[in-house]
Homo-oligomer: A and B are copies of this chain.
Amino acid sequence: LAGAADPEVLSLSLGLPDPELFPVDAFAEASARALGRHRNVLQYGLPCERLKRQICAHMAQRGVDCSPDRIFLTGGAQQGMHLLAGLLLDRRSAVLEEELTYPGFQQAIDRYDPDIITIPCTTREGLVVEAVERAFARVPRPALLYIMTDGHNPLGVSLDLEKRRRLALLAREYHVPICEDDAYGFLCYEEARLPPVRAAEDEWVYYIGSFAKVLAPSLRVGWLVVPPDLMRPLSVLKEAWDINTSSYTQWMLAEYLDTGALPAHIQSLCVAYRAKRDAMHAALCAAMPPGCRWTLPSNGVFVWIDLPDGVDASALLNEAIQRERVAFLPAEAFSRGRRRNGMRLNFSHCTIAEIAEAVARIGRMLRFAMA
């Protein structure tokens, strides 16, 4: 975040939403209503039951049927992940993660010194379910498998229906919890939409939900959908870590959701981000040298570029920032240093004009480096 702050550099590095699309006025009204409702919105408080019910309605839009006794409110998806890690991991637990995955997940688990079982994934089809099955069969009692079903970070890929079905069955068959991070599930740019794995398996899939990408990151309120018997141990952990999530921001969200504006807001985000995605694709087609490959994501905010063997994105990053004034995240950041020939580009934060310019700069740099 600190590195992205240089205003001279066009940054496609982070997964930031477009601030022009934040519902600032609606939030200001929601804040005023929350503060006007009851003085206890400023007190320590129990999780907001009204917000839990609204989240159940939100989950129904995603094809997930769940009740408020399964909704655990968090201080954002990262805390949700950290809480699940705290609950499920002992030192040296076996954790299954994809060979390219979200660095925030790696940060959340690494303090437990886990035994990491790496699951291969492909740029076009995502995680290889056969490898999951082999690992479940081979490894005694894995603590969890972490997946991003839609709009994978960094690959942008979404899993097909068959993979979702098999993952749900495998979790149930082997009794291994799947932690399904659905930060990007609601940001879908195609007509065909599939429900998350959680829709097919309510006992062994723990769903990590977030408002950061569909509303704003700054309220720091997210949720988990978990079996009811996890609610109490999660509460004990959460109390020890930060007592409770702000009652005020919970009520502010509840007031916002009560207006019924969220589905239309998400729809408008999808229209705007689809246009940005398409602009990035067009710019890539014009700028990328031969040998670079990418796929158009149906969900989320990232395009992944596979670079030819031997092209080291990390080695190019400094030059990109210094000479071309453009930034991206190299494959190294997602692969625990194992993969070099790839990069992640974000298309949600910059304007369409900036995306076109940034991609042109990256293309120029790559042509020069690969010449």
A110-148: CB near B (< 8 Å → 1, else 0) gives 110000000000000000000000000000000000000
- Given the interface contacts A240-B108, A242-B79, does A39 sit within 8 Å of B17 by beta carbon? no
Q: Are B35 and A19 in contact, CB atoms less than 8 angstroms apart?
A: no
Decide yes or no whether A192 CB sits under 8 A from chain B: no
The stretch among A22-30, A93-101, A336-344 that forms the contact with chain B is: A22-30
Task: Provide the bound-state CA to CA distance between A247 and B22, in Å.
Answer: 14
A161-193: CB near B (< 8 Å → 1, else 0) gives 000000000000000000000000000000000
List, in ascending order, chain B residues with CB within 8 A of A19's CB. 39-40, 42-43
Report the minimal beta-carbon distance from A357 to chain B, rounded to whole angstroms.
21
Decide yes or no whether A249 CB sits under 8 A from chain B: yes
- Given the interface contacts A241-B79, A243-B78, does A217 sit within 8 Å of B104 by beta carbon? no
Count residues on chain A whose CB falls below 8 Å from chain B CBs: 54
Decide yes or no whether A32 CB sits under 8 A from chain B: yes
Q: Are A41 and B218 in contact, CB atoms less than 8 angstroms apart?
A: yes
- Given the interface contacts A35-B24, A35-B28, A107-B240, does A218 sit within 8 Å of B75 by beta carbon? no
A35-54: CB near B (< 8 Å → 1, else 0) gives 11001111111100000000
Which chain B residue lies CB-closest to A241? B82
Q: Are A42 and B218 in contact, CB atoms less than 8 angstroms apart?
A: yes
Decide yes or no whether A13 CB sits under 8 A from chain B: no
List, in ascending order, chain B residues with CB within 8 A of A42's CB. 19, 22, 24, 27, 216-219
List, in ascending order, chain B residues with CB within 8 A of A104's CB. 239-240, 243
Decide yes or no whether A20 CB sits under 8 A from chain B: yes
> Which listed residue (B24, B43, B91, B242) contacts A78, Cβ 8 A?
B242
- Given the interface contacts A1-B46, A14-B44, A31-B32, does A219 sit within 8 Å of B241 by beta carbon? no
Task: Provide the bound-state CA to CA distance between A42 and B212, in Å.
Answer: 9
Report the minimal beta-carbon distance from A3 to chain B, rounded to whole angstroms.
11
Decide yes or no whether A264 CB sits under 8 A from chain B: no
Task: Provide the bound-state CA to CA distance between A36 and B27, in Å.
Answer: 11
Cβ-closest 6 pairs across A and B: A107-B240, A42-B216, A19-B39, A79-B242, A218-B248, A42-B218
Supply 8 further A-B pairs (C-beta < 8 A) apart from A20-B39, A104-B243. Answer: A1-B44, A16-B44, A28-B31, A41-B218, A42-B218, A104-B239, A218-B246, A219-B248
